[in-house]
Amino acid sequence: MAITTHDTETDVQDRAILVSLVTDKIKRTGIDPELSLQELVQLAETAGVEVLDVLRQNKETPDSRWFIGKGKVEELRMAADALGANTAIFDQELSGAQVRNLEEALDLKIIDRTQLILDIFAGRAKTREGIIQVELAQLSYLLPRLSGQGKNLSRLGGGIGTRGPGESKLETDRRHIRDRITELKRQLDEVVKTRELHRERRRKAGAVQVALVGYTNAGKSTLLKQLTDADVYIENQLFATLDPTSRVLELAGGKEVVLTDTVGFIQNLPHDLVASFRATLEEVNEANLVLHVVDASSPMREEQMEIVQSILQDLGASGTPQIVLFNKIDLCQPEQLEMLPTGTGYLKISAFNSEDLTRITEMIADELAGDTLNFRIPGDRGDISSLLYRVGEVLETTYDENDVLYNVRLNKEDYEKWGYMLADFVDQQ
């Protein structure tokens, strides 16, 4: 049962007014509401919406009935009439009742930030895993908003350019949705198992995992493409990537790692999405090294970095070694560049500069490199020699009668993993 269909050709273009309510609670989060609004504009444009105007209000607490104040509702109606809007998009999350009240009063499609993000994801999902995860997130978002739902059930799920859950199934009741959620979770479990098998295989093969993570649009997929020639989707829009893509990357010295591109993060990443995408995001957890890609030219750079760190923490990956790649320095103002931290663990790069790409692979190699060890391998143990080449960086090879002597740089983790095969061949002298 596909519940989301994108058919942009036949859909009337959404013409929207964006609304931001700044409450005391939001002020305390420290996220600049103006930057958040700028991001909402980008999200709306990514979803194919034409943004006509932006309305702002400051209020201690949201209005329980309308979210914004009654006067502001009137202002929104007038603006919508004057500009010919058919949609209002709120930067903060609305309750089901607020959506219904606003829709009835204004005769506009009412969408909040969460639903907009879910919608973009729905349009992007291509793999079975992605599609299941998005539908699960959409239904989990919809379910608590269904109570007391009357004639407007049809409109609630109708997002940007989509038939969201509900719209195509007027008859759908909560039990139906719960059943569907159960079924989706079961399907997701299967996908998770397959993914675990893949991971297990990679681990057994001794592959070192490096994950590209970062705020959406930071340049993660561009880096994967530049570093490995991967044919991935790159677009100057939010959430271009949904499903993780892995490619082999050869480092300086010949060592190979598996580099994985992941879904981008964003502030207030909907909770339901994080929960649903946990399987995908597990890739990050498995990584031996995280490359945190930052758009150094963004005015929200610091906030974005904090948001990424806090999501990594939620995922349990905050302890993984990390290299911060300040990307897009070709777009930076000189004063922006000066403010960037330097030192080990930080690189200033442009994804389009080949020298910078080499510096990345060098830093990855350094970060993963461990101590050097000497091995003495009998000539008839080619299996051990090739293992050394695969898991370590062979620095020197000499011959002593029938033995080959290797000086190899091997990190602790790999030595622990392969020690049972290698320990007998360590040359103590």
Choose among ligand GTP, Mg ion, none what residue 235 binds, the Cβ cut-off being 5 to 8 Å by kind: ligand GTP
Which residues within the stretch 319-378 sit at the binding site for ligand GTP (CB under 6 A)?
Answer: 327-328, 330-331, 350-352
Instruction: Please spell the DSSP secondary structure of 183-224, one letter per residue.
Output: HHHHHHHHHHHHHHHHHHHHHHTTPEEEEEEEBTTSSHHHHH
- Report the nearest approach of ligand GTP to the CB of residue 26 (Å): 24
Site track 95-134 with ligand GTP (rule: CB under 6 A), x = hit:
----------------------------------------
Q: How far is CA 15 from the centre of its chain?
A: 27
Please, which residue, 239 or 425, has the CB nearer to ligand GTP? 239
Distances (CA, A) of 90 to 40, 68, 128: 9, 10, 30
- 257 versus 351: smaller Cβ distance to ligand GTP: 351
Determine the 3-state secondary structure of 100 from DSSP. helix
Q: Which two tokens stand for residue 22?
A: 């700044």
- Long-range contacts of the stretch 385-394 (C-beta < 8 A, 24+): 387/206, 387/418, 387/421, 387/422, 388/422, 389/254, 390/206, 390/256, 391/206, 391/255, 391/417, 391/418, 392/255, 393/253, 393/254, 393/255, 393/365, 393/369, 394/253, 394/254
Contact partner at residue 162 from Mg ion, ligand GTP, none, CB < 5 to 8 Å by partner kind: none
Closest residue to ligand GTP in the complex (CB)? 264
Do residues 53 and 17 touch, judged by C-beta distance below 8 A? Answer: yes
**Under a CB-based contact definition with an 8 Å cutoff, are residues 192 and 283 in contact?**
no
Size of the site for ligand GTP (CB under 6 A): 23
Binding flag, residue 221, Mg ion (CB under 5 A):
yes
Site membership for ligand GTP, residue 239 (CB under 6 A): yes
C-alpha distance across the termini of the chain, in Å:
67
Q: How far is the CB of 163 from ligand GTP (least distance, A)?
A: 24
Question: Binding of ligand GTP at residue 217 (CB under 6 A)?
Answer: yes
**Helix locations, 63-156, DSSP H:** 70-83, 96-106, 113-124, 128-142, 153-156
Under rule CB under 6 A, residue 235 binds ligand GTP: yes
DSSP string across 363-425: HHHHHH--EEEEEEEETT-HHHHHHHHHHSEEEEEEEETTEEEEEEEE-HHHHHHHHHHHGGG
- Should residue 190 be labelled a site residue for ligand GTP when binding is judged by CB under 6 A? no
- Closest contact distance (angstroms) between CB of 127 and ligand GTP is 14
Angstrom distance (rounded) from CA 312 to CA 310: 5
Q: Could you tell me the smallest distance in angstroms from the CB atom of residue 263 to ligand GTP?
A: 6
CA gap 112, 18 in Å, rounded? 9
User: C-beta of 44: minimal distance to ligand GTP in Å?
Assistant: 15
Regarding 101 and contact with Mg ion (CB under 5 A), the answer is: no
In contact, 224 and 232? CB cutoff 8 Å: yes
Specify burial of residue 87 (Cβ count, 10 A radius: 0-12, 13-18, 19+).
buried
In whole angstroms, the minimum distance from the beta carbon of 364 to Mg ion comes to: 19
Q: Is the Cβ of residue 121 or residue 406 nearer to ligand GTP in the bound state?
A: 121
The answer to whether 221 contacts ligand GTP (rule: CB under 6 A) is yes
Site for ligand GTP in 241-260 (CB under 6 A): 241
Contacted entry of ligand GTP, Mg ion, none for residue 209, CB cut-off 5 to 8 Å set by kind: none
Chosen residue from 240, 284, 317, 365 binding Mg ion by CB under 5 A: 240
- By C-beta, is 165 or 264 nearer to ligand GTP? 264
Nearest-approach distance from CB 418 to ligand GTP, in angstroms: 33
72, 109, 113, 220: which one binds ligand GTP (CB under 6 A): 220
Site string for ligand GTP, 257-296 (x = CB under 6 A): -------x--------------------------------
Contact region with ligand GTP (CB under 6 A), list: 7-15, 77-85, 156-164, 213-221: 213-221
Angular region, 161: left φ>0, alpha ψ -120 to 50, beta rest: left
Rule CB under 5 A: say whether 212 interacts with Mg ion. no
Binding site for ligand GTP (CB under 6 A): 214, 216-222, 234-236, 238-241, 264, 327-328, 330-331, 350-352
- Interface with Mg ion (CB under 5 A): 220-221, 240-241
